């Protein structure tokens, strides 16, 4: 219901038809009842035929290729962060399919692009620390994405690319750099 409300509010249109795979998660009785109550027509693809949903399947492959490239280039293993950043990039960059508009523009009809905020996944970054007044004011880390809903970067701290050791203490060291 929350997703439906957000979509209808942002587009100022009602959802009329919903197409999905034939998986069990979209065929549950409560979900089908919700669609029936809201007047949403349901369309399903035939089981084990991804070619019926070729646009979505091709985008899945494109996203996988982008993520593998970003992780390989950075020498990192943060799949979830790489995927989130790849999705962000795809949505913020112009596409020839929709008349050189960005997907965000096509969806919300708002032009609000600031390419100055884009960074290379895995690039060296510095984050501000306040520990002791004689300690360094910043520490080095690696850029791993943007924090949704807040104007900040996600930085993986205490990274030594020569050792590539990821201890639990380093894994919990995700910090944000305010700009």
3-state SS, one letter per residue, for 56-92:
HHHHHHHHHHHHHHHHHHHCCCCHHHHHHHHHHHHHH
- Establish if 17 belongs to a structural domain: no
- Establish if 40 belongs to a structural domain: no
pTM of the model: 0.72
What integer pLDDT is reported at residue 171 of this predicted model? 36
44-83 CB burial, b ≥16 within 10 A, e <16: ebeeeeeeebeeeeeeeeeeeebbeebbeebebebeebbb
In sequence order, the β-bridge partners of residue 143 are 155
What integer pLDDT is reported at residue 45 of this predicted model? 82
- Establish if 163 belongs to a structural domain: yes
Strand, coil or helix: 169: helix
What integer pLDDT is reported at residue 174 of this predicted model? 44
37: closest CA among 52, 15, 58?
Answer: 15
Residues 89 and 145: beta-carbon distance below 8 Å: no
What integer pLDDT is reported at residue 131 of this predicted model? 74
**pLDDT tens-digit profile, the chain (179 residues):** 888 898 888 888 899 998 887 777 777 788 888 889 999 998 888 877 777 778 888 888 999 999 999 999 888 788 999 999 999 999 888 888 888 888 888 877 777 667 777 899 999 888 887 777 777 788 888 889 988 777 788 888 765 555 555 433 333 344 444 33
- Establish if 99 belongs to a structural domain: yes
- Establish if 139 belongs to a structural domain: yes
What's the chain's Rg over C-alpha atoms?
Answer: 21
- Alpha-carbon span 151 to 66, nearest angstrom: 24
- Establish if 14 belongs to a structural domain: no
What integer pLDDT is reported at residue 163 of this predicted model? 55
Residues 158, 164, 165, 170, CA torsion sign = positive
Give the chain's domain count.
1
> Which range marks the domain in which residue 114 is found?
78-178
């Amino acid at each position: 219901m929350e997703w439906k409300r957000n979509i209808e509010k942002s587009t100022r249109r009602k959802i009329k038809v919903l197409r999905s795979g034939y998986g069990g998660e979209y065929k549950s009785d409560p979900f089908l009842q919700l669609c029936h109550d809201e007047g949403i027509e349901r369309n399903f693809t035939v089981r084990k035929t991804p070619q019926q949903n070729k646009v979505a399947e091709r985008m899945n492959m494109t996203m996988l290729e982008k993520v593998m490239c970003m992780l390989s280039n950075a020498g990192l293993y943060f799949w979830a962060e790489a995927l989130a950043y790849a999705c962000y990039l795809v949505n913020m960059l112009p596409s020839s399919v929709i008349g050189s508009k960005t997907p965000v523009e096509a969806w919300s009809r708002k032009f609000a692009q600031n390419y100055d905020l884009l960074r290379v996944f895995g690039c060296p970054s510095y984050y501000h620390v306040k520990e002791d007044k004689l300690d360094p004011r910043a520490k080095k880390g690696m850029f791993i994405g943007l924090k949704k809903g807040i104007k900040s970067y996600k930085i993986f701290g205490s990274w030594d690319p020569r050792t590539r050791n990821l201890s639990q203490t380093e894994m919990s060291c995700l910090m944000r750099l305010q700009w």
